[in-house]
């Protein structure tokens, strides 16, 4: 069985991961770390009943005492910057769903992972449908004159634009896109610009994670949309990443590299 430690275990994603692991026959939860709900049984907190794994706030102690094969980190960028060196020190494989990292930080992490011969998956989105949306956007981009992205998330999301929006654009050939200039009567009304693509970030109660990629061409519009209606949509991708990073330890950026879409 694959021994897993969940970092950020008291958060909404962390609880969903704990629930999911409890149903899988090839995984066992051996550690849970968070600064919230310290001392609580991770299984009880997640609604699956006692698992005998208490949430602790000392990552060094958790990793040293539980000896996981892989850690699953869904915290936030500031926490991950502190956690990553600890993961490397304990030589555990990593599945990271934390967003808000810069490209320079991701490349630096890649260099460390490769030099230490560890396994690591960093993905802005673990929903397989969202990964396919990004793949389809990459295919469509050369055939259209312009594109804009609208992404919708819950108001607790720290970063904007989302990591999914940025990675979608990074995968698109956008050098030929038209970028019409116009006067903004309200500052920011046209959204932010990244690599020739306008991005609009919506943060409202009721949303989980949603994105539209809208392509414009002569007399036509193509819209690609993905909706994560609950956090359970991310779990098949998380399980896939956990298995892959243990079977074939290397650095993976984006779930598409595991799905063979890279």
Q: What are the pLDDT digits (tens) for 103-160?
A: 999 999 999 999 999 999 999 999 999 999 999 999 999 999 999 999 999 999 988 9
Q: What is the pLDDT of residues 150-205, one digit of tens each?
A: 999 999 998 899 999 999 999 998 778 888 778 888 988 899 999 999 999 999 99
Whether 83 has a binding-site annotation, put simply, is: no
Whether 144 has a binding-site annotation, put simply, is: no
Q: Which two tokens stand for residue 27?
A: 């995984």
Whether 12 has a binding-site annotation, put simply, is: yes
**Is 54 or 176 the better-scoring residue by pLDDT?**
54
Q: Which helix (H) or strand (E) holds 122?
A: strand 120-122
Whether 102 has a binding-site annotation, put simply, is: no
Read off the pLDDT band of 32 (50, 70, 90). Answer: very high
Residue 55 sits in a domain whose CATH number is: 3.40.50.720
pLDDT at 176: 86
- In this structure, the answer to whether residues 237 and 216 fall within a common structural domain is no
Q: Catalytic residue, from 157, 167, 200, 226: name it.
A: 157
Q: Catalytic residue, from 76, 153, 167, 210: name it.
A: 153
- In this structure, the answer to whether residues 14 and 98 fall within a common structural domain is yes
- How much is the average pLDDT of 218-247? 97
- In this structure, the answer to whether residues 114 and 37 fall within a common structural domain is yes
Whether 20 has a binding-site annotation, put simply, is: no
pLDDT at 189: 86
- In this structure, the answer to whether residues 41 and 90 fall within a common structural domain is yes
- In this structure, the answer to whether residues 219 and 236 fall within a common structural domain is no
Task: Tell me if the pTM is above 0.85.
Answer: yes
Using alpha carbons, select from 88, 76, 67 the residue that is nearest to residue 36: 76
pLDDT exceeds 80 at position 262: no
Would residue 210 show up in a list of annotated catalytic residues for this protein? Answer: no
- In this structure, the answer to whether residues 12 and 29 fall within a common structural domain is yes
Q: Degrees (nearest 5) of the Cα angle 44, 205, 49?
A: 10
Using alpha carbons, select from 120, 84, 89, 10 the residue that is nearest to residue 54: 10
Q: Is 82 buried (19+), middle (13-18) or exposed (0-12) by CB count in 10 A?
A: exposed
Q: 236 is in which domain, residue-wise? A: 2-122+232-259
Whether 192 has a binding-site annotation, put simply, is: no
Q: What is the pLDDT of residues 203-225, one digit of tens each?
A: 999 999 999 999 999 999 999 99
Q: At what angle do helices 59-66 and 77-89 cross, to 10 degrees?
A: 40
Would residue 153 show up in a list of annotated catalytic residues for this protein? Answer: yes
pLDDT at 213: 98
């Amino acid at each position: 069985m694959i021994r897993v430690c969940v970092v950020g275990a008291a958060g909404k994603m962390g609880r969903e991961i704990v629930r999911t692991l409890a149903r899988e026959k090839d995984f066992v939860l051996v550690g849970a770390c968070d600064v919230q709900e310290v001392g609580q049984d991770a299984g009880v907190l997640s609604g699956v009943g006692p698992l005998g794994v208490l949430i602790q706030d000392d990552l060094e102690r958790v990793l040293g005492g539980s000896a996981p094969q892989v850690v699953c980190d869904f915290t936030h960028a500031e926490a991950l910057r502190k956690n990553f060196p600890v993961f490397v020190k304990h030589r555990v494989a990593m599945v990271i769903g934390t967003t808000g990292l810069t490209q320079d930080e991701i490349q630096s992490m890649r260099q460390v992972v490769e030099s230490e011969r560890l396994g690591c998956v960093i993905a802005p989105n673990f929903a397989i449908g969202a990964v396919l949306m990004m793949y389809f956007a990459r295919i469509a981009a050369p055939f259209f004159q312009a594109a804009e992205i609208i992404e919708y998330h819950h108001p607790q999301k720290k970063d904007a634009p989302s990591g999914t929006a940025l990675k979608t654009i990074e995968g698109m050939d956008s050098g030929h896109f038209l970028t019409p200039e116009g006067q903004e009567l309200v500052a920011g009304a046209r959204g932010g610009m990244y690599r020739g693509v306008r991005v609009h970030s919506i943060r409202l109660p009721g949303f989980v994670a949603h994105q539209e990629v809208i392509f414009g061409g002569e007399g036509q519009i193509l819209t690609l949309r993905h909706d994560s209606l609950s956090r359970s949509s991310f779990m098949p991708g998380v399980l896939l990443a956990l298995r892959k990073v243990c079977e074939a330890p290397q650095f993976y950026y984006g779930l598409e590299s595991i799905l063979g879409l890279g």
